[in-house]
Chains A and B, each alone.
Chain A
Amino acid sequence: MNNIIEAVGLTKVFPGGLIAVNDISFSVEEGEIFGFLGPNGAGKSTTIAMLTTLIKPTRGMAKVTGIDIIKQPYQARLAIGYVSQDLAVEDALTGYENLKLQAGFYHIPKAEAVKRIAEVLTMVELTDRAKDKVETYSGGMRKRLDIACGLIHRPKLLFLDEPTLGLDIQTRREIWKYINHLREEIRMTIFMTTHYMDEADSLCDRIAIIDKGIIKTLDTPATLKGSLGNEIVEFTFSRGSSSDIETAIGHIKHLDFIEDIKFTEERGYMASVTNGESSVPAIFEAIHDFPVTIGSISHTQPSLDDVFLHYTGHEIREEKVDKESGFRNRMIMRRTRK
């Protein structure tokens, strides 16, 4: 397999000293969906901005489809497609006009443009609405149109920055379907960023977890989840004095299939177990002789949330944003909720 993206030591330091991306290296293979997973402000969008030539890296280099993004930015722009998180479609124009404009920006001759517009409209199933103004579109339709804009010049590599930001769950699923379709039908390589765990889990072939500008780990979702090893049993007590519960926990702790027990306010007791689902009846049996009763108990596979927590030491959270980007985020929300 060929590498379609090759990044070595990519670093971006903004004026004022903020290190948005700190010496990251990775490669993306042709034909895969590669995801950057991380919270807002982790450096995902900055990485995309560097790879799409919107900003210059402070240090390091990268090649997209074999083209050096620093030495040949113009050629790089021709070779890649970019769909930002902003839903940058023009409300006052029709869907067709938006695509016509995009074809103009990519210097596609008129006759060819007509053909390609029809082609991408079919791909995102917007042919019936092409003559309507975008202001009458739903959030999902706008996103599809925006993706279609990114496809007009038939790039081999598509960058999707937070493709389902602000969309409702049904629309998100629908967008996932289109993204999957791109990979399967036209064998497009997709580099995407997301802060939704489920999105990374269901779409991406490989994920890089990025936090504070550093890649913490990089692998397939399955391997990442597997790397945590054990499964988890969560339980709470409905009866028993605190000293009795303590003794009971002390007893459970020494069972041979229990690796570790932690207590958290939100989730109760969390036991890391090695014997899968059979741990549940085994725990019941173990506390049979104690004057306590289990109120609720559940057995779960480690999720990407757990993986994220494991590698970054915190849950995905919202970062502080400045006034202008806060404004932009609200604009995106307002436009997607239409």
Chain B
Amino acid sequence: MTRAVIFQDIYWVFWREFKKFTQQRARILMIVIQPLVWLVLMGNSMSGLTRNPAAMKMLGTGNYLEFMTPGIMIMTALFGGVFGGTTILWDRRLGFLHKMLSAPIHRAAIPLGKLMSIGLQTMLQALVIVIISLFLGVHFITGIPGVFCLLLISGLFGIIMGSISLSLAANLKSIETLMAISNFLTMPLMLTSNAMFPVNAMPVWLRAIANVNPLSYAVSAMRTIATQGWFFHQIWLPVVALLGIAMITIGVSVKMFYRSVS
């Protein structure tokens, strides 16, 4: 098999996933409404609380919405990715997995195509959040190139969560179990990170957890880009760490998928 063929196979798996995604009107509506709810309700109520010098110092910006926007982008990527594994369980349940496996496509193309679709979906969701936040008066200090980097990091994080979810799915039989595990994972991951609250405001033990939570890596890099500028010394390390994590989780998910179908 030539290398070009696997890219072709990934493309077609991706094409199917993404096409299905664009057909789900209710889901697309939720993608717009959910961040709107978070930013308008949570963002605005917190803005009142944080309009004082002590809070501003901890946030690193005078506007809580600006602080929160990268956090919401990552939260959306987390939710988008973590349920990504369900598609493979649906494929199994509906027999489409067997249809793909009986075709001469490269096995690895199935998880990789799905991850590609998750990555692009997450980037589009992040773009929706950027647009909403612009309407709410959020200013992105690094402009369009900065926003583009925010989208890329969101997509990368979506892929990480997606590959964890796919790895779990490969070892589980039922969609319900995966949903339960994914639900269980999301809230603690979210609340032990710096997505919503500044690390400086946390008790020491929580701060220790927040500092190793991969969600925090993504958020701090994005927050620097969004609110402070191109401070590469603060950006490169979390990004490299995320890339490393992504390589590992993608590798594991492909391996797990191989094992589950052989």
Digitize A103-120: 1 where CB-to-B-CB distance is under 8 Å, 0 elsewhere.
011110000000000000
With the chains together, A104 CA to B100 CA distance in Å? Answer: 11
Contact of A86 among B5, B9, B16, B94 (CB under 8 A): B94
Q: In the bound complex, do residue B105 and residue A105 qualify as a contact, i.e. CB atoms below 8 Å apart? A: yes
A54, B101: Cα distance in complex, Å: 7
Decide yes or no whether B29 CB sits under 8 A from chain A: no
Q: Which of B15, B19, B101 lies in contact with A92, CB distance below 8 A?
A: B19
Q: Which residues on the B side are within 8 Å of A149 (C-beta)? A: 99
In the complex, whether A77 has a CB less than 8 A from a CB of chain B is yes
A86 and B98 within 8 A (CB): yes
Q: State whether the Cβ of A102 lies closer than 8 Å to any Cβ in chain B.
A: yes
Q: Is A97 an interface residue (CB 8 A)?
A: yes
Residue numbers in A under 8 Å from B16 (CB-CB) = 90, 93, 101
Main secondary structure of the interface of B (DSSP, over half): helix
Residues of A within 8 A of B19 (CB): 92-93, 97
Contact B101 A106 (CB under 8 A): no
Judged by a CB distance under 8 angstroms, whether A84 is at the interface is yes
Our pick among B9, B103, B173 for the contact of A102 (Cβ within 8 Å) is B103
A56 adjacent to chain B (CB < 8 Å): yes
Give the contacting residue for A105; candidates B1, B9, B93, B262; CB below 8 A.
B9
B8 at interface by CB-CB < 8 Å? yes
Residue of chain A at shortest CB distance from B89: A324
Chain B residues near A82 (CB-CB < 8 A): 98-99, 102
- Hey, which chain B residues are within 8 Å of A101, CB to CB? 12, 15-16
Name the A residues within 8 Å of B174 (CB-CB). Answer: 323-324
A43-58 CB contacts (< 8 Å) to partner B: 49, 52-54, 56
CA distance A149 to B16 in the complex (A): 15
Interchain CA distance A88-B93 in the complex, whole Å: 10
The answer to whether B95 and A87 have CB atoms under 8 Å apart is yes
By a CB distance below 8 angstroms, the chain A residues around B100 are 105
A93 engages B12 (CB within 8 Å): no
User: CB-nearest residue of chain B relative to A335?
Assistant: B94
Cross-chain contact A327 with B93 (CB below 8 angstroms) = yes
- The CB with the most chain A CB atoms within 10 A, among B11, B19, B94, is that of B94
Q: Which residue of B lies closest to A83 (CB)?
A: B99
Taking a contact as CB atoms under 8 Å apart, the answer to whether A85 and B105 are in contact is no
Interface: B96 (CB within 8 A) = yes
Query: Number of contact residues on A: which range applies?
Result: 20 to 34
Tell yes or no: A290 within 8 A of B by CB: no
Give B77-96 interface residues, CB cut-off 8 Å to A: 93-96
Task: Report chain A residues within 8 Å CB of B12.
Answer: 101, 104-105
Interface string of B22-48 (1 = CB under 8 A from A): 011000000000000000000000000
A54 / chain B contacts, CB cutoff of 8 Å: 98, 101-102
Residues in B neighbouring A49, C-beta threshold 8 A: 98
CB <8 Å contact, A107 and B8: yes
Residue A337 lies at the interface, judged by CB distance under 8 Å to chain B = no
Given A101-B12, A104-B15, A105-B9, the answer on whether A90 and B20 have CB atoms closer than 8 Å is yes
A105 engages B98 (CB within 8 Å):
no
Q: Does A331 reach chain B (CB closer than 8 Å)?
A: yes
A131 at the interface (CB under 8 A from B): no
| Assembled-state Cα–Cα distance A107/B12 (Å) | 10
Q: Kindly identify which residue among A52, A85, A331 contacts B102, using a CB–CB cutoff of 8 Å.
A: A52
Q: Are B98 and A88 in contact (CB under 8 A)?
A: yes
In the complex, whether A282 has a CB less than 8 A from a CB of chain B is: no
CA distance A106 to B94 in the complex (A): 20
Interface residue? B53 (CB, 8 A)? no
B75 to chain A, nearest CB (A): 27
A74–B1 contact, CB under 8 A? yes
A82 to B96, CA, bound (A): 12
Give the distance in Å from the alpha carbon of A108 to the alpha carbon of B16 in the complex: 16
A residues near B203, Cβ cutoff 8 Å: none
Determine if B244 is an interface residue (Cβ-Cβ < 8 Å).
no
Q: How far is the CA of A54 from the CA of B11 in the complex (A)?
A: 22
Chain A nearest Cβ from B11, distance in angstroms: 8
Q: Chain B residues with Cβ under 8 A from A88's Cβ? A: 94-96, 98-99
Which residues does chain A contribute within 8 Å of B20, judged by CB atoms?
90, 92-93
Closest to A86 in B: B95
Q: Is there contact, CB below 8 Å, between A53 and B95?
A: no
Residues of A within 8 A of B104 (CB): 74, 77-78, 105-107
Question: Could you list which residues of chain B lie within 8 angstroms of chain A, going by C-beta atoms?
Answer: 1, 5, 8-9, 11-12, 15-16, 19-20, 23-24, 93-96, 98-105, 173-174, 262
Pairs A–B under 8 Å by Cβ, sample size 29: A52-B102, A54-B101, A56-B262, A74-B1, A82-B98, A82-B102, A84-B95, A86-B99, A88-B96, A90-B16, A90-B20, A92-B20, A92-B23, A93-B19, A93-B23, A97-B19, A101-B12, A101-B15, A104-B8, A104-B12, A105-B104, A149-B99, A323-B174, A324-B93, A324-B173, A324-B174, A327-B93, A328-B94, A331-B94
Using a CB–CB cutoff of 8 Å, the interface residues on chain A facing chain B are: 49, 52-54, 56, 74, 77-78, 80, 82, 84-88, 90, 92-93, 97, 101-102, 104-107, 149, 323-324, 327-328, 331
12 more A-B residue pairs beyond the given contacts A87-B95, A105-B9, A328-B94, with a C-beta to C-beta distance below 8 A = A84-B95, A84-B102, A90-B96, A92-B20, A93-B16, A97-B19, A101-B15, A105-B105, A106-B104, A107-B5, A327-B93, A331-B94
